[in-house]
Structure 1
Amino acid sequence: MVKSMMEEHQKSLDFLSNQVSELTNKVLLLNAEVLKKKNTDPFIHRPFQTHGFDCSDIKNNFGTISKAPSGIYIIQPEGTQFSFEAFCDMDYRGGGWTVLQKRIDGTIDFQRTWLDYMEGFGELSGEFWLGLRKTFCILNQKNTSFMLNIALEAEDGSQAYATYDNFWIEDEKTSFIMHVGRYFGTAGDAIRGYKKEDNQNAMPFSTYDIDNDNCYPSCFFNGTKVNSCSQHNNKSGWWFSQCGLANLNGVHRVTRGIDIAGIQWDTWKENNSIIKIKSASMKIKRTHYPFYK
């Protein structure tokens, strides 16, 4: 009798133990879901496991629930077969910006080959170039259009921006020819410049090892004979045109402590002098209205 009672008691304890274990697991799972929804993942350098076509798509999907934070997300543009990490700026001018390029402190070398600029380089949490192939995939989704924002900061801390609607690039066969629409901003339209030969709109991308800059066999820029705009700009890659007034990928003059062209947006001036730029970024966002408010 006693033995039978002890066995029944043990079965009851085992059952309760299993129930407690199951409840504990459920609590842990619920806690993980709460942390995920609140975006309080303790591993702050790990990308959020949130998929969207681009950062605008992610913002639109999460906007009705809660504000998605700025950070690294995994995106897969519509019509592509692969996903990749991208930095989404969810704070700047309404959020939803996919960052294509960021210059901050000169820790990343932007003097790179064609392959580097095509595939991308740097650290998404700091300075980087997303890559021409990835940028092409984002910009060429069906039934979408994008605006480009150039945000600039001077050595003295002053800021300016340039925005272009209907921004897109062609594919690798054309060397990623760039197209921009209407300009709006405070930094000036450096992509089109002042003269016909300054105009970088509808120009292919160039690097020091793949030259598409209209300087064949040479051209004159600011009175200097130039054979390669990339070489003239310390082996940086850009949509050069003889060589133009914009180049956000030049050597970071502030940290390198050298007097060279550096990061260029030569239509941004004060007292008729070109502003020396400390930091810059390129961001794109789906266009739902002509310009952000």
Structure 2
Amino acid sequence: MYGEWLFTAFLLVFGKINCHRIIKDKCATDVANKVANLITEIRSECTLTPPDDLDFRPSDCGDLKKAEHKSGVYKIYPDRTSSFQVFCDMENYEGGWTVIQKRTNGYVGFYRDWEAYKDGFGDLQTDFWLGNKYLNKLTEQGYYILRIDMWDFAKNQKYAIYEKFIVNNERSGYKLEVAGYVGNAGDALSYHNGYRFSTKDKDSTSRKCATKCNGGWWYRGCHYANLNGNYLKGTHRTSGEGINWKPWKGYYYSLKATRMMIRRA
């Protein structure tokens, strides 16, 4: 049935064929309405939603985990009023994780301006940056744990956990507060503790690190971690321009994939 209506709609729109020649007892308005309803059905299947309970407004993926939801895109309400969509990882490491950054293939460029990093960009199902204003909304609720997973092109995996992760408001320059490292990747992010976020058009460093390192990050002078740098596929010639994690692979190796996600402590 779906295929019939989609085919009819295609002919109507692109072939400019009169509706009465295709379905004698149906008008163009009827066809258009059915196609619109079908699109709504498809979208509802692609985006997961919480139960039909107006009082249930999850503040993060941890709340959805308690309600036994599976991994997917959900709408959350950190301040109980306004909302935004996030990807929830309910499968790895006991679940309940709100994914804030993901890189897998280089199709999404991360060398962007302040507003892009503020609002977020990319596709929540694949590669993206959630958005600094949303990181602030989430982490101002209380203490959050940050987990970073990273992979090289030889399929080796390392991780870094920080038992405290806070992104302050825009007035502070989205200043980073991070502490309590545990993991096997080496502690790179503590080097950036207390520093403001920088982008190519709003750089808080004297060395113009965002431009030099081709990304947006809490640059210092310039970095030990550069997870939003260029996607350079392994070994590269220029120091510090790739997806680098200094303690593990140094400044001349760009990682294949990264994932940053947070959960209440």
Sort the TM-score into its range (normalised by shorter chain).
0.7 to 0.9
Q: Which whole-Å CA distance do the structure 2 matches of 1:276 and 1:83 have between them? A: 34
**Secondary structure at the residue paired with 1:112?**
coil
State the shift of 1:237 in Å. 0.4
Q: Residues 49-64 of structure 1: matches in 2 within 5 Å?
A: 49=50, 51-62=57-68
The corresponding residue for 1:229 is: 209
The corresponding residue for 1:114 is: 114
The corresponding residue for 2:38 is: none
Question: Which 4+ runs in 1 deviate beyond 6 A?
Answer: none
Moved more, 106-115 or 79-88: 79-88
In structure 2, the CA distance between the partners of 1:282 and 1:247, relative to structure 1 (3 Å rule), is same
In structure 2, the CA distance between the partners of 1:127 and 1:273, relative to structure 1 (3 Å rule), is closer
2:43 aligned with 1:45, yes or no? no
The corresponding residue for 2:244 is: 264
**Secondary structure at the residue paired with 1:52?**
coil
State which structure, 1 or 2, has the greater radius of gyration over its C-alpha atoms.
1
In structure 2, the CA distance between the partners of 1:162 and 1:59, relative to structure 1 (3 Å rule), is same
**Secondary structure at the residue paired with 2:161?**
strand
Task: Pick from 169, 172, 175 the counterpart of residue 174 of structure 1.
Answer: 172
Superposition CA RMSD, Å: 2.1
The corresponding residue for 1:76 is: 77
Alpha carbons 1:47, 1:85 under 8 Å: kept = no
The one-letter code of the counterpart of 1:240 is: Y
State the shift of 1:126 in Å. 0.6
Q: Which whole-Å CA distance do the structure 1 matches of 2:112 and 2:178 have between them? A: 24
State the shift of 1:81 in Å. 2.7
How many residues get paired?
217
Alpha carbons 1:161, 1:186 under 8 Å: kept = yes
* Percent identity between the two aligned chains: 36
Q: Residues 113-262 of structure 1: matches in 2 within 5 Å?
A: 113-141=113-141, 144-192=142-190, 199-213=191-205, 215=206, 227-234=207-214, 236-254=215-233, 259-260=237-238, 261-262=241-242
In structure 2, the CA distance between the partners of 1:233 and 1:81, relative to structure 1 (3 Å rule), is same
In the alignment, structure 1 segments of 5+ residues that lack a partner are: 1-40, 63-67, 193-198, 216-226, 288-293
Alpha carbons 2:237, 2:252 under 8 Å: kept = no
Normalising by structure 2, what TM-score?
Answer: 0.77
State the shift of 1:57 in Å. 1.4
**Secondary structure at the residue paired with 1:285?**
strand
The corresponding residue for 1:282 is: 260
